[in-house]
Structure 1
Amino acid sequence: MRTLPPLIAALALLPALASCSSHPEPPPPLTKEALAAVKDDPGAPTEQLAREVDDLFSKDDLGETRALVVMHGGRIAAERYAPGYGPDTRFVSWSMAKTVTATMIGMLIADGRLTLDEPPPIPRWRRPGDPRGEITLRQLLQMRSGLRHTESGDVPYESSEVRMLLLDGRDDMATFAESQPLEAEPGAKFEYSSNTTVILADIATRALTASTDPDTRRAAVADYLHTRLFGPLGMTSIVPEFDRSGTLIGGSLMHATARDWARFGEFLRNKGSYRGTQIVPRRWIEFMITPSPRRGNYGAQTWLNRDPPEGDDPLFANRGPKNLFAMIGHMGQYVLVAPDRKLTVVRLGHSDADERRALMPQLADVVALYPGR
């Protein structure tokens, strides 16, 4: 067999070597829609921010992003909606509502109507010999009440939350949640529980009215929230839901526009202050974002971007920032707040568990565009 001279053989390999060392294809040009989502002076490189936002709407493995609002320094830096949605669309909170409920509890404590480290005013727990009488408001807020609960089961009807929201507990959710026995000593362990937040909503209602009439209970909480919280924040779109007994479904059902969810995130970022008015004491917001004794990445009805248990990180603690905290709702509802970056990011949509695992690094990329102090 005839062989090529070494020099000729080497030259013959050059095209193949060149293809191996070539740079990856540059990303496609940004569309007008992608660029239009970013406002003037967004606080981050415009094209990079536009591309990150566009990826949230276009990548197939992230689920469906329906709304995104990025606020920097109190101004909208980027905003975009999927077809069929817009600035006036109300989006369901799911568990983001928990943080709103905790804020209401803090306001009632500041008003002197509740006490953090005393048993709350739940009559059935105050009967002589009932061990649930030792549960404190602080323990409820930090999801360590010890009450029997299963947030999600192998089949839906095994879930305590599903039973409360949709089955035998739906007409009087607070009674269903408060009737559960203890399965652990109060304060001893963390267990995420939507039912616990309904208990908090019932406690707030009892602090505002002694009436058992559903309409009176509903009106007392709705008036308080709108007069003391939503009105001052300019959250004109928000609609809280109540059950048939007049209890706020404070763990999962509030509806508001993406901009109003961003307003609430900004209010938290500013430690309970809005446009110079201190609506909730600063120390209460600081309590909400302080790790609880039994869970490093959870405060009081609020998720923290730090110290997650092994394999259980709903945010992106490995990438920081450590002071980032979040309101998180079922199927991929997020209000991310990074105080050191003057940043609030709202993402609303529909993503399953696998899609949310892919979604979090993408949201982390948005946060990373903004340098911390």
Structure 2
Amino acid sequence: MPFDHPLPPLPVQPDGVAWPTKAWPESPPAPDTDTARLNRLLDRAFTDPAPETMGETHAFLAVQGGQIVAERYWRDFTPGSTFPSWSEAKSITQALIGILVRDGKIDIHAPADVPEWQEADDPRRAITLDMLLRMSSGLKFIEDYVPGSVSDVIEMLFGSGQLDVAAYAASQPLEHEPDTFWSYSSGTSNIVARCAARALGADADTFREFMFWELFSPIGMRSPLPKFDAAGTFIGSSFCYCTARDFARFGLLYLRDGVWDGTRILPEGWADYARTPTPAVPDTETLGYGAHWWLDMAGPGSFSCNGYEGQYTVLVPEKDLILVRHGKSPLEAKDAVQAWIADVADCF
């Protein structure tokens, strides 16, 4: 679904607020926060047993002005608990590509480096990393999470494709001319992750070191547990476990335009690239899509990492706000969880 609103400016770290490289600064919510409504929303989400309309909410974190202003956990979960990323990992993959762009090691507008597409008459040779990041490659891929249904994502992650997820995705034929049709696909993210490794000439161990050296460690993310397949590819579509506080650090990096405590981690303009709408998104989609980031869940100008079963890191630039929610919500509860997040954002 295309959105034509201008991109709101990304806020800078407030003076006197420490960067959370070692520990998160904390403060009460700002005086204009509707704390009574916020607490009602949190009480509803953290009901035990969980409400059927939303499923289980395991963790919630709100960061405003660079400080934690609200945090809650369910049952035995704590700030030290790690949570599945599912497709939040796609946005981490986008950051890794950005670092390679920063270093001049990859060109997102050049044909993607995919060995399966190198025959001279293969129309897939026209596919660029930009098209893959925007889910507009035209490749066939069925993104269905219902057991028993025809599903490329389940076959890739848990079936015949699990030993080499990028090869499985890259073997798919074109269904549409590249850059003309939007279709959400975890397969494309794993092709992107393998392109990143090929640009580095890296095996799994080297790529893991790259992830920590260039992205995680500089911003204080100590908990990430990225998963690799047997071929050595980071499963960048789905698997990077983190604590809620570390997902918030990742969100803060983008909310601060890719700069962390005076050091540019992502190239200039990369966060804007992530949140620039993809024109080919159909009107049937309730959210917009940028480049491996979703758009407008918490109002115009917001952008987010969205994962299966209700994993979310949502950025609201106009409020200098980050909302992190992790849980286990059935697919039919997705709209209710997203509406709840929008209501929470409205409290600030």
TM-score bin (small chain): 0.7 to 0.9
Residue 299 (1) aligns with residue 290 (2)? yes
Q: TM-score, normalised by structure 2?
A: 0.86
Structure 2 partner of 1:289: 275
Q: Are residues 40 and 109 of structure 1, via their aligned partners in 2, closer, same or farther at CA, if it must alter by over 3 Å?
A: closer
Q: Secondary structure of 1:83's partner?
A: coil
Please tell me whether the aligned partners of residues 216 and 222 of structure 2 are also in contact (alpha carbons under 8 angstroms). yes
Residue 359 (1) aligns with residue 314 (2)? no
1:97 to 60, 85, 89: 89
* Count of residue pairs brought into register by the alignment: 313
Structure 1 partner of 2:29: 42
| Distance across 1 between alignment mates of 2:339 and 2:303 | 15
Amino acid at match of 2:214: R
Q: How does 1:7-86 map to 2 (within 5 A)?
A: 40-43=27-30, 44-58=33-47, 60=51, 61-86=53-78
Amino acid at match of 1:50: N
Q: TM-score, normalised by structure 1?
A: 0.81
1:128 to 111, 114, 120: 120
Structure 1 partner of 2:9: none
TM-aligned CA deviation for residue 274 of structure 1: 1.6
Per-residue CA shift, 1:265-294, capped at 9, x if unaligned? 111111111222211023111011000121
Structure 2 partner of 1:231: 217
| Distance across 2 between alignment mates of 1:288 and 1:97 | 14
Please tell me whether the aligned partners of residues 61 and 324 of structure 2 are also in contact (alpha carbons under 8 angstroms). yes
| Distance across 2 between alignment mates of 1:228 and 1:361 | 35
Amino acid at match of 1:340: E
Please tell me whether the aligned partners of residues 27 and 67 of structure 2 are also in contact (alpha carbons under 8 angstroms). no
Residue 107 (1) aligns with residue 99 (2)? yes
Q: How does 1:1-373 map to 2 (within 5 A)?
A: 40-43=27-30, 44-58=33-47, 60=51, 61-152=53-144, 155-156=147-148, 158-209=150-201, 217-295=203-281, 297-305=288-296, 315=297, 320=299, 322-370=300-348
Amino acid at match of 2:55: G
| Distance across 1 between alignment mates of 2:339 and 2:144 | 25
Amino acid at match of 1:237: S
| Distance across 1 between alignment mates of 2:34 and 2:180 | 47
Q: Are residues 40 and 227 of structure 1, via their aligned partners in 2, closer, same or farther at CA, if it must alter by over 3 Å?
A: closer
Structure 2 segments unaligned to the other structure (5+ residues): 1-25, 283-287
Please tell me whether the aligned partners of residues 156 and 162 of structure 1 are also in contact (alpha carbons under 8 angstroms). no
Deviates most, 341-350 or 43-52: 43-52
Q: Secondary structure of 2:289's partner?
A: coil
Structure 1 segments unaligned to the other structure (5+ residues): 1-38, 210-215, 306-314
Q: Secondary structure of 1:94's partner?
A: coil
TM-aligned CA deviation for residue 46 of structure 1: 3.5
TM-aligned CA deviation for residue 154 of structure 1: 6.2
Q: Are residues 46 and 157 of structure 1, via their aligned partners in 2, closer, same or farther at CA, if it must alter by over 3 Å?
A: closer
Q: Are residues 247 and 156 of structure 1, via their aligned partners in 2, closer, same or farther at CA, if it must alter by over 3 Å?
A: farther
TM-aligned CA deviation for residue 123 of structure 1: 2.1
Q: Are residues 47 and 152 of structure 1, via their aligned partners in 2, closer, same or farther at CA, if it must alter by over 3 Å?
A: same
Structure 2 partner of 1:212: none
Amino acid at match of 1:298: Y
Q: Are residues 189 and 89 of structure 1, via their aligned partners in 2, closer, same or farther at CA, if it must alter by over 3 Å?
A: same
Please tell me whether the aligned partners of residues 157 and 163 of structure 1 are also in contact (alpha carbons under 8 angstroms). no
Structure 2 partner of 1:213: none
Please tell me whether the aligned partners of residues 145 and 153 of structure 2 are also in contact (alpha carbons under 8 angstroms). no
Amino acid at match of 2:343: D
TM-aligned CA deviation for residue 153 of structure 1: 6.8
| Distance across 1 between alignment mates of 2:60 and 2:291 | 25
Q: Are residues 288 and 156 of structure 1, via their aligned partners in 2, closer, same or farther at CA, if it must alter by over 3 Å?
A: farther
Report the structure number with the largest CA radius of gyration.
1
| Distance across 1 between alignment mates of 2:333 and 2:281 | 25
Amino acid at match of 1:338: V
Identity, in percent, stands at 39
Per-residue CA shift, 1:198-240, capped at 9, x if unaligned? 000000010011xxxxxx6101211111001000010000110
TM-aligned CA deviation for residue 155 of structure 1: 4.9
Per-residue CA shift, 1:244-274, capped at 9, x if unaligned? 0100000001100000001111111111112
TM-aligned CA deviation for residue 352 of structure 1: 1.3
Q: Secondary structure of 1:181's partner?
A: coil
Amino acid at match of 2:304: A
| Distance across 2 between alignment mates of 1:299 and 1:114 | 19
Structure 2 partner of 1:3: none
